[in-house]
Amino acid sequence: MRFTFMTLFPQLIEGYFQDSILKRAVERELFSYDFCNPRDFSTSRHKKVDDTAAGGGAGMLMNPQPLFDALDTFKDAHIVFTTPVAKPFVQNDAKRLAKKEHIVFVSGRYEGIDERVIEQYADEVFSIGDYVLTGGELASLVMSDAVARNVQGVLGNSESLDVESFETSLLEAPSFTKPANFKNLSTPSEYLKGNHSKIAALKNALSIAKTKYFRPGQLLQYKTRA
Ligand code: SAM
């Protein structure tokens, strides 16, 4: 698996892969990442990558030429654009994209990207939520992180993927670690007794309660399927 981040600001992304689980996964060659800066493809004298919006309006847009030329170098890759207006990126998208060989995440800046670029090159377009960020780098990082942890071998214990929230319509049950009693706050006693079927039943009940509280719509899906 290879990620290419198409961005005017690669340094905003680079640090994220230089620690912890994702760093180790890169070292073990489970995935790789690189950068492509559209500015390097600009044919204008001053390496310009933005221009005013046709028809007026505030702010600048990323102009098509550098992006067209940059994207032309990735003929076989799966091209993903970031934009606040698209459908939200969800766990199923992360799992599906983890099977691709090469994904290019395109980060917009300024007031966004000339629409012709998206129309011409997008295999998929995603938002990471209903708010507007200053650029697509965080969105690209969010998606690539979620994709990477679904790549075989990236998480030490792949079982942890199966029981996570969004794998089924129920959210993951609350988790506790040691000590069993901390500042008079205790772990549910059933968790400590070692009876696996009782622990599983309690976790299921707690998952239902948590889903009802945080995601009532999702609980409805669970009930419809059951
Ligand atoms: N003018 C655009 C609008 O109102 O729809 C917003 C452009 S935003 C300031 C600049 C870039 O940030 C976008 O091109 C996109 O790449 C990225 N971006 C901002 N919010 C995002 C979100 N919620 N999800 C994904 N990408 C986002």
Give 48-95 pLDDT, tens digit per residue: 999 999 999 999 999 999 999 999 999 999 999 999 999 999 999 999
Cα 135 to ligand 1 centroid, rounded to whole Å = 6
Atom of ligand 1 nearest to the CA of 135: 12
Average pLDDT over residues 133-161: 92
User: CA–CA separation, 69 vs 197, rounded Å?
Assistant: 58
What class is the 2-148 domain?
alpha beta
Instruction: Among 7, 133, 137, 140, say which to mutate for ligand 1: greatest number of ligand atoms within 8 Å of CB.
Output: 133
Query: Crossing angle of helices 216-225/196-214, nearest 10°?
Result: 130
Cα-trace Rg, the chain: 22
Closest residue by CA, ligand 1 atom 12: 135
Structure token digits, residue 198: 């009782």
Give 5-19 pLDDT, tens digit per residue: 999 999 999 999 999
Q: Does domain 165-225 have CATH number 3.50.50.60?
A: no
Residue 179, preceding bond cis, omega within 30 degrees? yes
Question: Where are the chain's structural domains?
Answer: 2-148, 165-225
Q: Please report, in angstroms and rounded to a whole number, the separation of the first and last CA atoms in the chain.
A: 36
Q: Is residue 135 within 6 Å of ligand 1 at its C-beta?
A: yes
User: CA–CA separation, 14 vs 7, rounded Å?
Assistant: 11
User: CA–CA separation, 127 vs 136, rounded Å?
Assistant: 9
Pair 204, 163: CB distance under 8 Å: no
User: CA–CA separation, 122 vs 68, rounded Å?
Assistant: 11
**Which SS3 state, helix, strand or coil, does residue 32 take?**
strand
Pair 145, 154: CB distance under 8 Å: no
According to DSSP, residue 19 is labeled: S
pLDDT at 159: 61
Give 180-196 pLDDT, tens digit per residue: 999 999 999 999 999 99
Instruction: Among 8, 83, 89, 106, say which to mutate for ligand 1: greatest number of ligand atoms within 8 Å of CB.
Output: 83
